[in-house]
Structure 1
Amino acid sequence: MNRLLVCLSCLLALLTGPAWSRDAPQLQLPRVTLTAGMHLIQAQVAATPEQRSIGLMFREDMPAGEGMLFVFEQPAGQCFWMKNTLLPLTAAFVADDGTIVNLVDMKPQSLDSHCSARPVRYVLEMHQGWFAKRGIQAGSRLSGSPFDGRK
Structure 2
Amino acid sequence: MPLLKTARMVIQHCSRSFYVLFITTLIPSVALSENICVDQYCLEARLALTTQEQEKGLQGVAHLADNEGMLFVFNPPRPVCMWMKDVPIDLEVVFFDENGRLMAVRQMKAQTENTHCAPSKVAWALEVNPGWFEKKRLTKGAKLQFN
Superposition TM-score, scaled by structure 1 size: 0.76
Structure 2 residue 105 is the aligned partner of structure 1 residue 92: no
Count of aligned pairs between the two proteins:
123
| Aligned counterparts of 1:38 and 1:106: Cα–Cα separation in 2 | 24
Stretches of structure 1 lacking an aligned partner (at least 5 in a row): 1-13, 146-151
Q: Which residue number in structure 1 is paired with residue 55 of structure 2? A: 53
Residue identity in the other structure for 1:34: I
Residue identity in the other structure for 1:75: P
Identical amino acids, percent of aligned pairs: 28
Residue identity in the other structure for 2:35: T
Q: Which residue number in structure 2 is paired with residue 32 of structure 1? A: 34
Structure 2 counterpart of 1:141, from 135, 140, 143: 143
RMSD: 1.9
Question: Offset of 1:73 from its aligned partner?
Answer: 2.2
Matches for 1:9-88 after TM superposition, within 5 Å: 28-88=30-90
Q: Which residue number in structure 1 is paired with residue 115 of structure 2? A: 113
Question: Offset of 1:121 from its aligned partner?
Answer: 1.6
Question: Offset of 1:97 from its aligned partner?
Answer: 1.7
| Aligned counterparts of 1:82 and 1:126: Cα–Cα separation in 2 | 13
Question: Offset of 1:62 from its aligned partner?
Answer: 1.4
- Structure 2 contact 93–126 (Cα < 8 Å) conserved: yes
